[in-house]
Every structure is written in C-alpha cells, then in structure tokens.
Structure 1
Amino acid sequence: MPGGQALDTLLSWAMYLGLTACVLGAIGAGAAIGVGSLSSRPHWAERGKVALVFSVIGAIVVGSAVSIVNTGFGMA
C-alpha cells in the first residue's frame, strides 16, 4: 500500500509517546503517593494510587493495541 511505511512510522511514534506518557504518569503517581503519605495528606496518596492504576492500564492498552486491532480485524 502506498504510504504504508510512513503510516507505520507514525503509529510507532504514537505508541512510543503513549508509553512515555504512561511512564511519566506512573513516576508522578509514585511521587504523589510518597509525598501524601509522608506529609499526612491522604487525598494526595489516594489520587496517586488511582493515577498509578490508570497509568498501568494505559500502558497495557497502548502496548497491546496492535494485537487487539489485528485480532478484531481477523474476526471480521
């Protein structure tokens, strides 16, 4: 398909940026958990835990997106 290589490159970069955002979110979530726990701010720690869960879920979805799409395409 014409332009397939450019599309593949674009999708690869999008996945890389998505995974990078998830890693940065996990780092920020860990910091919020630590700061919230040490400074007696339980709402920060709670938000950090929620952010960490969503960062991990986001990384799983981004990392397996190609397999999910290929499986769905094969079912059709």
Structure 2
Amino acid sequence: MIDIIPNGTGLPGIEQLRVIVGAVMTIGLILAVLALIVAAIVWGFGANSSNPHLASRGKSGVLIACGAAIICGAAVTLTNFFWGVGQSV
C-alpha cells in the first residue's frame, strides 16, 4: 500500500509560492468586486433607459462576478474537499 501526502517542505520556494497564490487570490477577489460594481451600473443604466438588452447584460455580469468571487474565495476549501474525496477512493 502506498501512502503519499503533500509535503509542504519538500521543495525550496514553497513558502514563496504560497504567498504568490494568496496575492493572486486577493487580486481575483478585487477584480470580481470591480466587475460586480460595473455590471450593477450597466444593469441600472439599462433598466433606467428602457434598454432590455443592456439590462440583461448587466444582470448576467452581476451573476458572473458573484460566481467568480465565490470560486476565488472558496478555492482553498474546494481543493481540500476534493483532495479528501480523492484520498477516500
């Protein structure tokens, strides 16, 4: 039976890589919030100007930005969950 677990100290530079990944996650969350704000403004303009196409694009943008924020924020939890599922197979 082979028992392999992640080794957090096996390679040089692992700690720096964790810092970089954390910074990328932060940037992703900031961009998701920015996209949410822009999409909400587009949705508002579309609804205010009786332009259903623009309002629909704004609604889609809000949903996509919320999805991106959820995925960015939950990336570590999702990875750990699926790692555990994979280990139990």
What residue ranges of structure 1 are gaps of 5+ in the alignment?
Answer: none
What is the CA-CA distance between 1:33 and the residue it aligns to? Answer: 0.8
> TM-score normalized by structure 1?
0.92
SS of the residue corresponding to residue 40 of structure 1 reads: coil
Number of equivalent positions? 76
Identity %: 36
SS of the residue corresponding to residue 21 of structure 2 reads: helix
What is the CA-CA distance between 1:74 and the residue it aligns to? Answer: 2.1
What residue ranges of structure 2 are gaps of 5+ in the alignment?
Answer: 1-8
What is the CA-CA distance between 1:51 and the residue it aligns to? Answer: 0.6
1:26-59 Cα shifts (integer Å, max 9, x gaps):
0011100111111121111110001100110111
Q: How does 1:1-76 map to 2 (within 5 A)?
A: 1=9, 2-75=12-85, 76=87
Could you tell me which amino acid in structure 2 is paired with residue 23 of structure 1?
A: V
Q: CA RMSD in A?
A: 1.0
Q: Which runs of 4+ in 1 moved over 3 A?
A: none
Structure of greater relative contact order (alpha carbons < 8 Å, 6+ residues apart): 1
> TM-score normalized by structure 2?
0.80
